[in-house]
């Protein structure tokens, strides 16, 4: 008898595969294939019991996620379950190889420069009178 959690009409037990798995992998169709992870919000018998990893094409170091958590392998400085944002202390770069780079530490300020103020603070601090328009599609990338 075969118990495949409603994922197959027929199944055939393969002793060789069972031995190769270290005698752990059962014939119950309860593992997700590579590139997918188990969606615990759905019963194992649900046809969408496995979710696609959806690892970010730039931020992830690969497309295969953890079968249990869905966590993708992130590049240095990248975080998020799909590796879609920069970690704390990192900022986005334009490089697909290193999409997030460490934010450089600010140089120490000297006592003289920290106490100096511009002679005319109002003209120094007021906002510009002109209007500036930015094309968000040009300056912002999806998922960052």
Residue 114 makes CB contacts below 8 A (sequence gap 6+) with none
Classify domain 31-104 at the CATH topology level. Answer: Tie2 ligand-binding domain fold (2.170.300)
Per-residue model confidence (pLDDT) at position 69: 93
The tokens of 26 are what?
Answer: 């059962």
Q: Token pair of 101, please?
A: 């780079």
Q: Cα dist. 46→36, 38, 43 in Å?
A: 15, 11, 5
pLDDT tens per residue, range 19-45: 665 544 555 666 788 899 989 999 888
Tell me the average confidence (pLDDT) per consecutive run of 10 residues in the chain, 144 residues long.
Answer: 60 63 57 87 86 96 93 97 97 95 81 50 50 53 50
pTM: 0.57
* Start-end of CATH 2.170.300.10 domains in the chain: 31-104
pLDDT of residue 12: 65
């Amino acid at each position: 008898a075969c118990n495949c959690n409603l994922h197959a009409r027929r199944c055939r037990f393969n002793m060789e595969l069972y031995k190769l798995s270290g005698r752990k992998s059962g014939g119950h169709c309860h593992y997700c294939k590579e590139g997918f992870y188990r969606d615990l919000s759905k019963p194992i018998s649900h046809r969408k019991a496995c979710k696609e990893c959806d690892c970010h094409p730039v931020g992830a170091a690969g497309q295969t996620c953890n079968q249990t958590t869905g966590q993708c392998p992130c590049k240095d400085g990248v975080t998020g379950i799909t590796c879609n944002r920069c970690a704390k202390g990192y900022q986005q770069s334009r490089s697909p190889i290193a999409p997030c780079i460490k934010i450089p530490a600010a140089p120490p300020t000297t006592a003289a420069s920290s106490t100096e103020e511009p002679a005319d603070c109002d003209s120094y601090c007021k906002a510009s009178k002109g209007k500036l328009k930015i094309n968000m599609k040009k300056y912002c990338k999806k998922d960052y």
